[in-house]
């Protein structure tokens, strides 16, 4: 019942893969009631890593029961009390961050350096919301023209939440939901991706050590159509915070459409443009564009996967990018594999398509049809595709970037916006007026000018168009997890 023993459990089954268990009402449950298990594969080797339970409707119900029982007391705790629990969680996680980073790297395939950054950010998620709730402000005022009537706003925690996360930044994205859920007085049932469940399992042990009251946060493991769908549809689940693919987001919206009062926060996919204007210094622009394209093997929703370069620098930029990628992104050293066989086949299918459309491969090659040992794909820089190619329009979510040319600012904005998604964008220029002109015209929830992946946790995070509904972060998260009532009091 310590993190060391949880770690020991995960490593001590050489011939017999370990099995994760649901965490409900403060306890790790025995076998899933279905008796079915999902295999979790090591992306570096392609071999079986462990098994996770395939949570059933009954498993989800048990977890929702636990969260419902815990809600009345937890929703009445003081902000100070909730803050202290969150601080304890962040402290324990911080003490054990190397253990979490190592498992995240094994499970997801990301480099240890990348995993360390994400675990640090997970610690910050808890710290941020632990202190945010202590500094909330409100105002009482008179209704205009009615000096005997006061008006003010009052919030209460919404209830039980379903928290569902994807496989690309497992602990970071799950804690981005769990921390505000607990902080704002809600209880919840979290379901990590079936592809990467290990750090969520270890996090449950942190909850126990931090003495998070039983039932406040429960975890069920399993896939989307079975476990995730049961969670979303449960009428006792009053809100869903979901991060994942756009098609899943649409499905969740359909599945909850009749439950009008259910809060829905959907953080979905992207096909993010990087605009490189001709006044930039290539020594800065090339590494930034490369990092934005290939960090975590291109498996970050915010990756800049469509690069547009102004004509005067295009001829120099493209070979410089290819050379930079070849020297700095080495498989097995500075770059990991993609997460799974299924995802490998998906990314490969786009590369086949690019090949058939006569794209130029400046780096990279067609991956083998059947990966032999792990799911390795060489970072690939493509050019020569038409703007209506699927490779240019759809989210690939792998180490693949396309490069195109543009002439004018207007054209750059039009190209950036010519996509159903609107999550993030990157603008590179040294012209301050242009930074604002272009930055304020792009239809994306996040715009980074001369930088990428910078986050300030109090600002809104989320997408426009098909990239999502709602925002999270600071007061935006408060709106997701609480109900607002406006009072008018006459005397
Ligand atoms: P996914 O949509 O396949 O799965 C995400 C989660 O949803 C998993 O836990 C899955 O089990 C669950 N799920 C699947 N079907 C479900 C259903 N019908 N009901 C309820 N839950 C269901 O996404 P993925 O492949 O794990 O992750 C990659 C996607 O996530 C990419 O599109 C990426 O852009 C997106 N993403 C978005 C953000 C963001 O903040 N906007 C961040 C990271 C990843």
Q: How would residue 49 be classed by pLDDT, with cut points 50, 70 and 90?
A: very high
Residue identifier of the C-alpha nearest atom 22 of ligand 1 = 224
Q: Indicate the pairing of strand 237-243 with strand 160-164.
A: parallel
Written as one string, the DSSP assignment of 76-142 is TS-HHHHHHHHHHHHHHHHHTHHHHHHHHHHHH---HHHHHHHHHHHHHHHHHHHHHGGG----EEE
pLDDT over 90 at 33, yes or no: no
Written as one string, the DSSP assignment of 57-78 is HHHHHHHHHHHHHHHHHHHTS-
Return the best residue to mutate from 194, 195, 248, 300 for the ligand 1 pocket (most ligand atoms within 8 A of CB): 248
User: Hey, what are 88's tokens?
Assistant: 């304890």
The reply to whether ligand 1 has any atom less than 6 angstroms from the CB of 229 is yes
From the CA of 395, give the closest atom in ligand 1.
32
The reply to whether ligand 1 has any atom less than 6 angstroms from the CB of 472 is no
Mean pLDDT of 408-416: 98
Mean pLDDT of 245-253: 98
Residue identifier of the C-alpha nearest atom 23 of ligand 1 = 244
What is the total residue count of the chain? 491
Q: Are 107 and 198 in contact (CB under 8 A)?
A: yes
Q: Are 100 and 93 in contact (CB under 8 A)?
A: yes
Q: Indicate the pairing of strand 160-164 with strand 187-191.
A: parallel
From the CA of 252, give the closest atom in ligand 1.
19
Name the catalytic one among 186, 301, 303, 404: 301
CA of 93 to the centre of ligand 1 (A): 25
Name the catalytic one among 104, 205, 267, 472: 267
From the CA of 244, give the closest atom in ligand 1.
30
Q: How would residue 2 be classed by pLDDT, with cut points 50, 70 and 90?
A: confident
Does 301 qualify as catalytic in the annotation?
Answer: yes
pLDDT recorded at residue 30: 60
Residue identifier of the C-alpha nearest atom 14 of ligand 1 = 224
**Residue 67 CA: distances (Å) to CA of 233, 454, 467:** 15, 34, 30
Mean pLDDT of 100-114: 98
Does 441 qualify as catalytic in the annotation?
Answer: no
Question: Could you report the per-residue pLDDT of 196-214, keeping only the tens digit for each?
Answer: 999 999 999 999 999 999 9
% the chain with pLDDT above 90: 94
CA of 72 to the centre of ligand 1 (A): 30
Please classify residue 373 by burial: count the beta carbons closer than 10 Å to its beta carbon, then call 0-12 exposed, 13-18 middle and 19+ buried: exposed
Return the best residue to mutate from 52, 55, 166, 461 for the ligand 1 pocket (most ligand atoms within 8 A of CB): 166
pLDDT over 70 at 31, yes or no: no
Q: Quote the CA–CA distance of 317 and 429 in Å, as a whole number.
A: 14
pLDDT recorded at residue 14: 59
**Which single residue is written with the structure tokens 């549809």?**
233
245 SS3 class? coil
């Amino acid at each position: 019942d310590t993190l060391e023993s949880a770690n020991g459990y995960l490593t001590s089954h050489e011939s017999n893969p370990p099995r994760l268990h649901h965490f409900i009402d403060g306890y790790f449950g025995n076998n899933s009631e279905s008796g079915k298990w999902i295999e979790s594969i090591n992306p570096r080797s392609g071999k079986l890593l462990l098994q996770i339970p395939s949570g059933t409707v009954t498993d989800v119900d048990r977890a929702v029961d636990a969260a419902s029982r815990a809600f009345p007391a937890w929703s009445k705790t003081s902000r100070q009390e909730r803050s202290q629990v969150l601080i304890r969680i962040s402290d324990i996680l911080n003490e054990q961050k190397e253990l979490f980073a190592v498992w995240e790297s094994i499970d997801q395939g990301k480099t240890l350096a990348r995993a360390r950054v994400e675990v640090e950010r997970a610690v910050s998620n808890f710290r941020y919301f632990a202190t945010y709730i202590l500094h909330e402000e409100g105002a009482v005022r008179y209704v205009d023209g009615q000096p005997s009537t006061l008006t003010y706003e009052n919030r209460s925690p919404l209830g039980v939440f379903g928290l569902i996360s994807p496989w690309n930044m497992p602990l970071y994205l799950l804690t981005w939901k769990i921390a505000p859920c607990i902080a704002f007085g809600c209880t919840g049932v979290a379901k990590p991706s079936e592809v990467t469940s290990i750090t969520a399992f270890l996090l449950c042990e942190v909850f126990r050590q931090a003495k998070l009251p039983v039932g406040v946060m429960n975890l069920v493991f399993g896939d989307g159509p079975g476990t995730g769908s049961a969670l979303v549809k449960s009428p006792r689940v009053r809100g869903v915070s979901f991060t994942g693919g756009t098609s899943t987001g649409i499905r969740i919206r359909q599945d909850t459409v009749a439950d009008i009062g259910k809060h829905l926060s959907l953080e979905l996919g992207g096909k993010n443009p990087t605009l490189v204007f001709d006044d930039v210094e290539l020594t800065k622009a090339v590494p930034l564009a490369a990092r934005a394209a290939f960090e975590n093997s291109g498996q970050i929703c915010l990756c800049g996967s469509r690069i547009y370069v102004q004509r005067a620098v295009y001829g120099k930029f493209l070979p410089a990018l290819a050379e930079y990628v070849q020297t700095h992104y080495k498989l097995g050293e500075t770059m990991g594999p993609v997460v799974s066989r299924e995802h490998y086949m998906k990314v490969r299918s786009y590369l086949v398509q690019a090949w058939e459309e006569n794209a130029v491969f400046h780096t990279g090659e067609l991956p083998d049809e059947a990966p032999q040992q792990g799911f390795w794909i060489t970072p690939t820089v493509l050019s020569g595709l038409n703007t209506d190619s699927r490779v240019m329009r759809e989210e690939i979510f792998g180490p693949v970037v396309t490069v195109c040319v543009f002439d004018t600012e207007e054209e750059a904005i039009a190209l950036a916006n010519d996509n159903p998604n609107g999550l993030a964008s990157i603008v590179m220029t040294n012209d301050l007026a242009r930074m604002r002109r272009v930055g304020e015209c792009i239809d994306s929830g996040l715009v980074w000018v001369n930088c990428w992946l910078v986050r300030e946790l109090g600002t809104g995070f989320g997408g426009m168009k098909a990239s999502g509904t709602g925002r999270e972060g600071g007061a935006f998260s408060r709106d997701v997890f609480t109900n607002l009532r406006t009072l008018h009091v006459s005397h």
